[in-house]
Amino acid sequence: MNGTNIEVGKIVKIVSNLYTVKVTNSLYECRARGKFRFDKVTPLVGDMVEIDTKESYIINILERKNFLNRPQIANVDIGLIITSAKKPDISYNLLDKQILVIKNAGIEPVICITKHDLLSFFKRIKFKKIMKYYEKIGFKVFYNDDLSSLKRYLKNKTVVLTGQTGAGKSTLLNKLDKNLNLDTNPISEALGRGVHTTRHTEIHEIDNIYFADTPGFSSLNLDDITKENIQIGFPEFDKYVCDFKDCAHIDEKNCTVRNHVDDHNILRSRYENYKLFYKEIKKW
């Protein structure tokens, strides 16, 4: 906006109450106006905002196309779920919960597998068979030893990285851009899980891909999921027609979905996770 101190840019980093806003090729360190706290609105990484470059304040947040509560980020194209096959061992419950939360936010979930080389030969065959199932039901799956294919798919997208602590989010970014040199820590042998290395959310631009590195976490809540929209995370259910239109696929008679839970149609671990999520939501 020439002739004024007002510019439009994207929040690319937040540390405490300091917001780094990128306007074209310039970075501005800004604070948020008190009105946001009064209006109970929190600026997020990924937000397009108007800033006063002279006073170094964010004065307006432009309309978001979507956002996630955890990790907190706005205007995302793809949720890249970094999933470790070993050290820490894969949690299919966490994977399915991440898929559900990301899809519910209007974001495409994409799975990236790390550390599969640590699996034994036979466990790796079984693991890849399960990943083929996820591909069959419509989710993209990549492995971190084929980064060229992953980069082609993510080009020109804003991507949030999420996954269990220690799965290799920072390591993946370092492989994509060796100049980043993000902190990484080994797995805690005592805890059997990773140690947090990312302390804040920050967007890194790598070869026309906008990656948001976020603090690691090991659990997600389903606060924004309802019994009516939980099945958005389980697209394999859609091909089966039950006797009741509003069938919850839990204990209804003649439930076609439940009757197809096996090794070939609906993966049993997926269905068991669905029941756990449904039970969690039903408690509210």
Angle at 173 between CA 172 and CA 179, to 5 degrees: 130
Tens place of pLDDT per residue across the chain (284 aa): 555 899 999 999 999 889 999 999 899 999 999 889 888 999 999 999 999 999 999 999 999 999 988 778 899 999 999 999 999 999 999 999 999 999 999 999 999 999 999 999 999 999 999 999 999 999 999 999 899 999 999 999 999 888 777 888 778 888 888 777 666 555 444 434 444 445 678 898 889 999 887 665 445 788 889 998 999 999 999 999 999 888 999 999 889 999 999 978 999 999 999 999 999 997 65
Please tell me the distance from the alpha carbon of residue 136 to that of residue 138, in angstroms, as a whole number.
5
Instruction: Name the residue ranges covered by the structural domains of the chain.
Output: 6-63, 68-213, 230-282
Do the domains 6-63 and 68-213 sit in the same CATH topology, yes or no?
Answer: no
What's the pLDDT at 191? 37
Instruction: Please report the DSSP string for 159-215 in residue order.
Output: EEEEESTTSSHHHHHHHH-TTT-----PPBTTTTB------S-EEEEETTEEEEE--
Instruction: Tell me which fold the domain 6-63 belongs to.
Output: OB fold (Dihydrolipoamide Acetyltransferase, E2P) (2.40.50)
Domain 68-213 has CATH 3.40.50.300: yes
Q: How far apart are CA 83 and CA 195, in angstroms?
A: 15
Q: Work out the angle between the directed axes of helices 147-154 and 169-176 (0-180°, nearest 10).
A: 90
Taking the C-alpha atoms of residue 86 and residue 117, their distance in angstroms, rounded to an integer, is: 9
Question: Given this model, what pLDDT does residue 37 score?
Answer: 87
The pTM for the full model equals 0.83
pLDDT, residue 139, reads 98
